[in-house]
Structure 1
Amino acid sequence: MPARFRAEQVGSLLRPAELLQARAAHGESKISLEELRAKEDHAIRQALEKQRRVGIDILSDGEMRRGSWATGMAEAVEGFVAQRVELEWKGPGGGREGSTLLAAGAKLKKTCKLTAHELPFLKKHAPGAFKVTVPAPSNFVLASYKAGVTDRFYPTHGDFLCDLADIIRDEIQWLVSEGATYIQLDAPYYSHYLDPTQRERMRQTGRNPDAEFENGIEGDNSCFRGIPRTNLTLALHVCRGNNRSRWYTEGGYDVIAEKLFGRSDVDTFLLEYDTQRAGGFEPLRLVPRGKSVVLGLITTKEPNLESQDELRRRIDEAARFIPIENLALSPQCGFASVAAGNLLSEDDQWRKLELVVETARRVWD
């Protein structure tokens, strides 16, 4: 299928300093929620206008209202408890560090929409087509299933995934009913199944990474069942972690490509491809006819601006394995998967998005 949009951005944008200060002040009860919302509204209006001026084909609100890419689950779903873990990040300032993740400590119960405070404003103010991002349910099977805690309420990963999928399906149904025409599932945890180190850790604990990955895809697919697909783009974003310019996993798509591309019930794949960590383009030969791929060739992790000639060369290389009309271009991930953002400036960010648009126009117009 020819790509509907040629110049994309994954979703999150760097938060302006004024918004970060307002969020901190709200956390300390120094300003009201209404005052914080006003700052968010202003930041979103600015982000939408800048995307329009740059020429991005599908707009987002920059996830300005979120603390992280998956914030909505904790705010909209009861049953999660804070869990202190150690994560081993790679890249600038990498190494083992303590972090707080969500663990399921009760049966999950959705109490409100994840995006109810986002969609109405975005729909009203977006000067063109827009996307809404939601976390794939499969993420939480890896991130939030804690032995000795979660298994008291969900005996198996499958039981847990079923409830998670119901929550996200309800969200997607609502988004579509409210007029959203581009919905993106973010699935960074898929990259655990392509990383040799992570796969071995799973095996050492008696788990089968291939079977788990297949179950994750089926769970994510179930989010779309019963959803009217007319005039709707469903997308899936896969990256290798994106936190303050660091990453978590490494490896090419080869080991998961057949299942990822062959079984995922989406129209478009947004794939990290900005470094050698992502491997080659050969797995793209397995993308079925009728689906498109957005090549994430431009990094959000560093300020250095890529060469347009090199980007065009890489697009041509990818086109050896998938028709070029089925390709599009974006950064590899968002610029601020967590509110603090990656280690580059807003000017760097907009230059990179300008490069996305300029390159896409030269290749496909």
Structure 2
Amino acid sequence: MNSFARATHVGSLLRPPPLLKARTDHAAGRLDDAGLRRVEQESILVALSVQQDSGIGGYTDGEYLRTDFMSRLTEHVAGFAAQAPSLEWQSGDHAEEDSSILRLIGGKLAYRERFTDREAAFLAAHAPGPFKISIPEVTNFVVANWDPRVSGPHYPTRADIVDDLTAVLLQEAAALAEDGVRHVQIDAPCFIAFANPRILALLDSEGIDARALLRRCIEADAAVVRLLRDRGVTVGMHICRGNYRGQWFNEGFYDDIAADVFGGIPVDHWLLEYDTERAGTFEPLHHVPDGVRVVLGLITTKTGELENPDDLARRVDEAARIVPLADLAVSPQCGFASEVRGNPLTWDDQRRKLDLTVSVAQRVWGGV
């Protein structure tokens, strides 16, 4: 197994019942910090075993120390308020206002303490092979965590948060490299916001040049990526459309952002959502620079329905007309639980999805 496995996954896994109960008991005062940490560690060992048994590459801790994919940062960086933003999540036939997984920016952002050190230390000690640590990126916060009433007194516009947030991410990235972490994944579900008519209209109403803001975010992310790669860290970036209990936040195709994003952020590989027609075609992959690899997120984590392996293999072949087959891999389209309650599928569904990912990779490349 290496840092670019032919069969990989985005990172988060469904929380097992003992961990969910421990978090509830801890919040209610029935379990102390040491007890919660013990259950967390036991649960991570189970997650590592599941990954090892399936043959999926790039071990993670399932994000079991997090309540959502950004929570370690929002809990350990100064400037976040307890108030959640109002976001419109899509589920196919209706939109639901529910954004409890996020926190608004309510003060000046400043690096207070490490937020991925526990994850890195435990995986370094217990992962059966190469592992990765994930961190969020600037665009997430620019789109989803800024509010004129709560954030505006500290950052009058969305663009004003970029420099301070980049400084935070650069400091944590440098610390991860110092820890000896060799693979970092940067999660970016909000790049597609810049192809989403609903969000573009909102930005326009605020007098924002959306393309200029996108490019500023790209420059910030590129600085984080360059720091990591200069220190010998492999960097992948994951782009999806949001992932919250089977729902999504953004709609739009890669076509509108591909030239700027794929050409502007010097990652080693991209992990791209491609499980539904909402992602569009593979044509935007023409903008991926030569030698940069692409992980095709063909298998949905939003439902337990299992895809047809013949269809998946054909889609890999289709993508290989644009990106050489040697530079492709497969994965689920996103994590199974970007927030603690997870997507509407079972533990067995999750395992079948991981097994399917591996079997497709074995069919296409002859191994993982």
Does the alignment reach a TM-score above 0.5?
Answer: yes
Matching residue's letter, 1:322:
V
Q: CA deviation at 1:112?
A: 1.2
Q: Which residue of 1 aligns with 2:73?
A: 73
CA distance in 2, matches of 1:132, 1:264: 18
Equivalent pair of 1:193/1:256 in contact (CA under 8 Å) = yes
- Write out aligned runs for 1:43-58 (5 A): 43-58=43-58
Identity %: 43
CA distance in 2, matches of 1:206, 1:313: 44
- Aligned CA RMSD, in angstroms, stands at 1.8
Q: CA deviation at 1:213?
A: 1.1
- Write out aligned runs for 1:183-332 (5 A): 183-229=184-230, 231-332=232-333
Q: Which residue of 2 aligns with 1:13?
A: 13
Matching residue's letter, 1:334:
G
1:348 lines up with 2:349 in the alignment: yes
CA distance in 2, matches of 1:131, 1:289: 24
CA distance in 2, matches of 1:235, 1:206: 33
Q: CA deviation at 1:212?
A: 1.3
Give SS of 2:11's match. coil
CA distance in 1, matches of 2:99, 2:203: 21
Q: Which moved more, 1:151-160 or 1:18-27?
A: 151-160
Q: CA deviation at 1:225?
A: 4.1
Equivalent pair of 2:76/2:112 in contact (CA under 8 Å) = yes
Moved over 4 A (4+): none
Q: Which residue of 1 aligns with 2:153?
A: 152
Equivalent pair of 1:133/1:184 in contact (CA under 8 Å) = yes
Give SS of 1:150's match. coil
Q: CA deviation at 1:92?
A: 6.9
Q: Which runs of 5+ in 1 are unaligned?
A: none
Equivalent pair of 1:80/1:108 in contact (CA under 8 Å) = yes
Q: Deviations over 1:127-183 (max 9, x none)?
A: 001010011122112222222443433344444111111111111111111111110
Equivalent pair of 2:228/2:234 in contact (CA under 8 Å) = no
Q: CA deviation at 1:228?
A: 4.9
CA distance in 2, matches of 1:74, 1:35: 23
TM-score (norm 2): 0.94
Give SS of 2:330's match. strand
Give SS of 2:118's match. coil
Q: CA deviation at 1:249?
A: 1.3
Give SS of 1:235's match. strand
CA distance in 1, matches of 2:353, 2:9: 10
Q: Structure 1 residues 12 and 84, CA, compared in 2 at 3 Å: closer, same or farther?
A: closer
Q: Deviations over 1:248-276 (max 9, x none)?
A: 11121000010111001211110000000
Give SS of 2:141's match. helix
Matching residue's letter, 1:112:
E
Q: Structure 1 residues 37 and 351, CA, compared in 2 at 3 Å: closer, same or farther?
A: same
Equivalent pair of 1:3/1:328 in contact (CA under 8 Å) = no
Q: Deviations over 1:296-339 (max 9, x none)?
A: 00000111111110000000111111111111100000000011
Q: Which runs of 5+ in 2 are unaligned?
A: none
Q: Structure 1 residues 45 and 98, CA, compared in 2 at 3 Å: closer, same or farther?
A: closer
Q: CA deviation at 1:93?
A: 8.4
1:175 lines up with 2:190 in the alignment: no
Give SS of 1:334's match. coil
- Write out aligned runs for 1:26-65 (5 A): 26-65=26-65
Q: Which moved more, 1:247-256 or 1:134-143?
A: 134-143
Q: CA deviation at 1:118?
A: 1.3
Q: Which residue of 1 aligns with 2:96?
A: 96
Give SS of 2:81's match. strand
Q: Structure 1 residues 205 and 352, CA, compared in 2 at 3 Å: closer, same or farther?
A: same
1:22 lines up with 2:22 in the alignment: yes
Matching residue's letter, 1:39:
V
Equivalent pair of 1:12/1:60 in contact (CA under 8 Å) = yes
Give SS of 2:230's match. coil
CA distance in 1, matches of 2:61, 2:93: 29
Equivalent pair of 1:88/1:94 in contact (CA under 8 Å) = no
Give SS of 2:271's match. strand
Give SS of 2:190's match. helix
TM-score (norm 1): 0.95
Give SS of 1:224's match. helix
Q: CA deviation at 1:103?
A: 2.2
Q: CA deviation at 1:210?
A: 1.4
Q: Which moved more, 1:197-206 or 1:209-218?
A: 197-206
